[in-house]
Structure 1
Amino acid sequence: MPVNAALIVAAGSGVRAGQKQGRPKQYCLAGGKPILRRTLEAFLFHSEIAAVVVVMRAGDEALYAEAVAGLDSSKLLPPVPGGATRQLSVKAGLDALEAHTPHAVLIHDAARPFISAACISDTIAALDASDGSIAAAPVTDTLKRGEDGRSAGTVDRAGLWRAQTPQTFIYDKIVAAHRAAGERTDFTDDASIAEWHGLSVALVSNTSENMKITTAEDLVMADMIASGGVALPDVRVGSGFDVHAFEDGDHVTLCGVKIPHDKGLKAHSDGDAGLHALTDALYGTIGAGDIGDHFPPSDPQWRAMDSTVFLKHAVALVAEKGGRITNADVTLICERPKVGPHRDAMRARMAEILGIEIERVSVKATTSEQLGFTGRREGIAALASATVVFAAR
């Protein structure tokens, strides 16, 4: 039986999909198992595959070792460092397989963990009549051509296919094609290199279940598929509280809006109690401390600072952690000034900074029935809560 080898491309950084788990997507868990491991198992357990090599990113050695621990080492070859581009990574893998003299090589994305055994066999069988073959799914959606953000016409989808992997080739022929390509790096996949080199490439019809994990949403879907059920989202609620005393002045700033008043607010920054409370609420959803940790009042650069700077910082940190802000609720506690006339402007300003619809932002005001420091009109207090949704764990 001819020797067939699989080349698994896992050298990407995978930041966009893997940011929640803090690792490249190929090492993230889907159904409690690393994605790379799921992909490897599909090929290692296949009777027509004799050898498997992984092209990995330098620096991921510990993650790789964790992902492959306990797998059949008789088929799994030592990993190979990848290159600066996918094309160079594939070439490195092809070079590493040379000593094993394979008849065919199946080049597959590590981030496609749901490849079926039947598809692997079908791409190999197609080599009886062609130099190469690729798993592909016919395009079923209506396609539009866009110009300047508008639809400029409908594209005929007849004969169009979505290329997947594995992309399977006679080993010697795809090696020759890669070497002929030389320094060119404008090819989008191995089939495009093969076609450019004059090789015949067959289309092997496959299902859309052979998804490629690209985004954080894809990772959630993969976890659902691998778990055999519905993965619930990670919903977090943070709370914040802030107080500022009145001092001499002619206005106060609340929830990003400047309001005329016979007093000002005593603070190191602009004293916006509403935004300070909301900022702390957002920090709370990711365990990131409070405003004082990020913007110490002892630091003169923050003196009289517009508090929208603080809120934007919290919004950015939440986004970096993969969170999506879905709601903000601020309650202002004071006797004066009157909040009602400015409520919609406050909601609009906060919605703009948070990047959400205005109906997801609430501003309420209440008095303390003339009790306490707010009742004596000595200052303003603010309570806030924020809801943030993260991808399922």
Structure 2
Amino acid sequence: MTKNDQLSYGIIVVAAGRGERAGSLQDGPKQYRLIGGRPVIVHTLDVFAAWPAQKTIIVVIHPDDETLFAEAARHLTDKNLTVSIVHGGATRQQSVLAGLKALESSGVTHVMIQDAVRPFVDHALLDRCASAFAEGHEAVLPGLAVADTLKRAASDGTVIETVARAGLFAAQTPQCFRFEAILAAHQRAADSARSDFTDDAALAEWAGMTVALVEGSVDNVKLTLKRDIAMADEKLSRDLMPDVRTGNGYDVHQLVPGDGVTLCGVFIPHDQALLGHSDADVPLHALTDALLATCGAGDIGDHFPPSDPQWKGAASHLFVEHAVKIVREHGGTIMNADISLIAEAPKIGPHRQAMRERLATMLGISLERCSVKATTNEKIGFVGRREGIAALATSTVVFRARGR
């Protein structure tokens, strides 16, 4: 085990501000504005949620924003992500202290404090911060060397001097600290009635901590003004790659003497029946596999093993509906389903419309997006000898696209 493996991280996402510089309050706080179709804060949270380090996530929100945050959280990619929320204070400094106190009993060794409105932070930057901790630093600040020439101005707007930019860096977040040290520093500042620190690194410096610089990211911009949000939305909208996935499924069941078969949830009287642990609805079994394939969720046997007695005689629409739930939990929207039945008998044509209607209901999509076709096997093979019925299913699912 490396030293880095022994560290655990508290993530504090600061989202309690009002964002007056980002436009009218009628537009809502900037952390909840949409960029690329999702709230700014969701893009930020998704990055930290997907970071593989051990972590606990705290979001510090304004007391008036609980409904806004709950609505935003519906867009999170990881539906199993657990985040705790606490209410912030009148200043950013007070909000961070509230987040730190919420982490006191979590047992984390280190904390990363991130602005909610820096949605383009990336894992490479987080890894650089973590590596600095592994080297023994107690405070880490991502920064970019200042490239512009700097001028100091007088109150009348005239230039007093040119400031040498050598050794100057623009600070970014997440600003990262050994947990106990930054909690003590924040508490000391609060007890001293100091509330004038512009960031957590400045407070850490005041408390005597040595802050190490790591390379920031040019993409890790803070969305401050209304035009920043518009530009971020344009960037994501331009860069988004459509995430369209197609899944295929195949199934076959043996025909035995009986009084009918169930296909696509429709019972058809027939002189044979399909043999299976459940109701042996061949096309629905194939469709279940097709849906699961779009999000890498295994196959029907993984979720409904034939050895499990609870599925004996079960209606197969339950399997499809379970697969639909999994697809939606992964952020997928089902676009269509196409079923091909291969059977010598019974005739499918008279029942096709009813089958399509059942599919539309199970999948929650329109009838025009559901197709059922049938063909014989020209009396060749096991299908041709009426020993079984086979089905092929294809489904297309669109998942929420990501810009990175």
- Alignment TM-score > 0.5, same fold: yes
The answer to whether the 8 A contact 1:43-1:49 is kept is no
Secondary structure of 1:168's partner?
Answer: strand
Alignment partner of 1:129 is 2:136: yes
Secondary structure of 2:63's partner?
Answer: coil
**In the aligned structure 2, how far is the partner of 1:97 from the partner of 1:76?**
14
The counterpart of 1:218, out of the listed 228, 232, 246, is 228
Task: Give the corresponding residue for 1:361.
Answer: none
> Which runs of 5 or more structure 1 residues have no equivalent in the other structure?
231-393
Alignment partner of 1:77 is 2:83: yes
Secondary structure of 1:78's partner?
Answer: strand
> How many residues end up aligned between the 2 structures?
230
Closer, same or farther: CA 205–217 of 1 in aligned 2, 3 Å: same
Task: Give the corresponding residue for 1:34.
Answer: 39
Task: Give the corresponding residue for 2:212.
Answer: 202
Aligned letter for 1:106? M
Closer, same or farther: CA 74–96 of 1 in aligned 2, 3 Å: farther
Aligned letter for 1:203? L
**In the aligned structure 2, how far is the partner of 1:76 from the partner of 1:198?**
34
The answer to whether the 8 A contact 1:106-1:167 is kept is yes
The counterpart of 1:152, out of the listed 160, 172, 183, is 160
**In the aligned structure 2, how far is the partner of 1:7 from the partner of 1:73?**
19
Q: Deviation at 1:17?
A: 1.2
**In the aligned structure 2, how far is the partner of 1:227 from the partner of 1:74?**
26
The answer to whether the 8 A contact 2:31-2:39 is kept is yes
Question: Under a length normalisation based on structure 1, what TM-score does the superposition of the two structures give?
Answer: 0.56
Closer, same or farther: CA 84–149 of 1 in aligned 2, 3 Å: same
Task: Give the corresponding residue for 1:143.
Answer: 150
Aligned letter for 1:93? G
TM alignment of 1:19-58, pairs within 5 A = 19=24, 22-58=27-63
Task: Give the corresponding residue for 1:167.
Answer: 175
Task: Give the corresponding residue for 2:238.
Answer: 228
Aligned letter for 2:50? F
Secondary structure of 2:84's partner?
Answer: coil
- Residue by residue over 1:24-60, the C-alpha shift from the partner in whole angstroms, topping out at 9 and shown as x without a partner, is 0000011111000000001011001421110000111
- Residue by residue over 1:268-327, the C-alpha shift from the partner in whole angstroms, topping out at 9 and shown as x without a partner, is xxxxxxxxxxxxxxxxxxxxxxxxxxxxxxxxxxxxxxxxxxxxxxxxxxxxxxxxxxxx
Closer, same or farther: CA 49–36 of 1 in aligned 2, 3 Å: farther
**In the aligned structure 1, how far is the partner of 2:24 from the partner of 2:229?**
10
Alignment partner of 1:116 is 2:142: no
Secondary structure of 2:213's partner?
Answer: strand
The answer to whether the 8 A contact 1:6-1:106 is kept is yes
Q: Deviation at 1:151?
A: 1.5
Q: Deviation at 1:170?
A: 0.6
**In the aligned structure 2, how far is the partner of 1:187 from the partner of 1:213?**
20
Percent identity for Structure 1 against Structure 2: 44
> Which runs of 5 or more structure 2 residues have no equivalent in the other structure?
241-404
Question: Under a length normalisation based on structure 2, what TM-score does the superposition of the two structures give?
Answer: 0.55
